[in-house]
Amino acid sequence: MASNAAVPFWRAAGMTYITYSNICANLVRNCLKEPYKAEALTREKVHFSIATWNDGKPEKPVLRSDTPED
Amino acid sequence: MRLGVDVKKNVIVTISSDKGLCGGINSTSVKISKALHKFSGPDKETKYVVLGEKAKAQMVRDSKKDILLTIAELQKNPLNYTQVSVLADDILKNVEFDALRIVFNKFHSVVSFLPTISTVLSPEIVEREAESGGKLGELDSYEVEGGETKAEILQNLSEFQFSCVLFNAVLENACSEQGARMSAMDSSSRNAGDMLDRLTLTYNRTRQASITTELIEIISGASALEG
C-alpha cells in the first residue's frame, strides 16, 4: 500500500497515536502550578505486569511501572 | 445472532479482577468469552487477551493454546487513563487483529451487572465496511481538514477509540466488581448469621438433652439405692 502523503514524524518513529497523545498530555500536566501539579502527576502512574504466551506456555512477565512514556 | 461485522481474526479481551471474594462476575465474563470463541466458527481465528488473575486461572484450564497475552497487577494504583493507554499500546503492538471484542461487566446497579461486549474494528476493516455502505459509509460525509489523508485519520482514530473503549470497560468492570463484592459479602454475612442461629439452637437442645440424661441416671441410681 503506497502512501501518498508523508506520515507524521511520530508515526515514522514508531509511535502510535496513543503514545503521542500521552506525551502531549504529560507536557500539559507539567505546565501546571504546584498543588495541582502534584495531583495531576498522580494521575499518570502506570503499573502492570504483562506476560506473552507462546503455544500455551507463559514467558517471563515484564513489569511495566511508573513511567508513562515507556 | 449476528455478531455485526464478519471478520477473520477476532481477538477477545476479557476483563476481570485480581482479587477474589467478588461473587460470580468473573465466571460470567469467562463464560461469555468462551461462548464467543465457540460461536465464531471453525474457519475464523479467535485468540484471547486476558486482564486479571481470576480470568487467567479459569482460562488456563482449557484454552491455554489460544491465549496471547495476560496482564496482572492492573489495580495496584487507582485506575487512570495513562495506565490503560500504555496497556492499549502494548496490545496494539503485539496483537494482530481484524476486530477486538472486549468482554466486561457493565455496571447497572449495585446488585445487577450486565455482561457486555464492545467491538473495536481495525482501520482496514473500517475502510472495507465504509466502502460497502451501511452505517459506516457515513464516514465519507465528514470533511477532513489539514494535511492528513482519510486513511491516516482512520488509523489515529481507531487507536484512540480502542484506548478509550478499553478505559471505559476497565472502569465499568471495576465498579461492577466492587458492587458484586459488597453484595457477596453481605449475603455471606447473612448466611453465616443464620447458620450461627441454627447451630446455637441445636447446641442448646443437645446440652439440655445430655443434662436431662445425667439427671435421670442419678435419680434412678439414687432410687435404686433406697428401694
The arithmetic mean of pLDDT across residues B65-76, rounded, is 83
Contact B134, B121 (CB under 8 A): no
Residues B171-206 pLDDT 10s: 999 999 999 999 999 999 999 999 999 999 999 999
- pLDDT for the residue B169: 92
Minimum-distance CB partner of B83 among A48, A51, A55: A48
Nearest-CA neighbor of A5 among B38, B210, B151, B174?
A: B151
Question: Residue B84: CB partners within 8 Å, gap ≥ 6?
Answer: B163, B166, B167, B170
Judge: A48–B74 Cβ closer than 8 Å, yes or no: yes
Alpha carbons A52 and B69: distance in angstroms, whole number: 5
Judge: A48–B87 Cβ closer than 8 Å, yes or no: yes
Contact B153, A7 (CB under 8 A): no
Contact A56, B64 (CB under 8 A): yes
CA-derived radius of gyration, chain A: 17
Q: What is the pTM of this model?
A: 0.81
Strand partners of residue B74 = none
Judge: A47–B76 Cβ closer than 8 Å, yes or no: yes
CA-CA-CA-CA torsion sign (B76, B81, B87, B90): negative
Q: Tell me: pLDDT of B42 over 80.
A: no
ipTM higher than threshold 0.90: no
Judge: A46–B83 Cβ closer than 8 Å, yes or no: yes
Q: Tell me: pLDDT of B148 over 70.
A: no
Minimum-distance CB partner of A18 among B67, B69, B85: B85
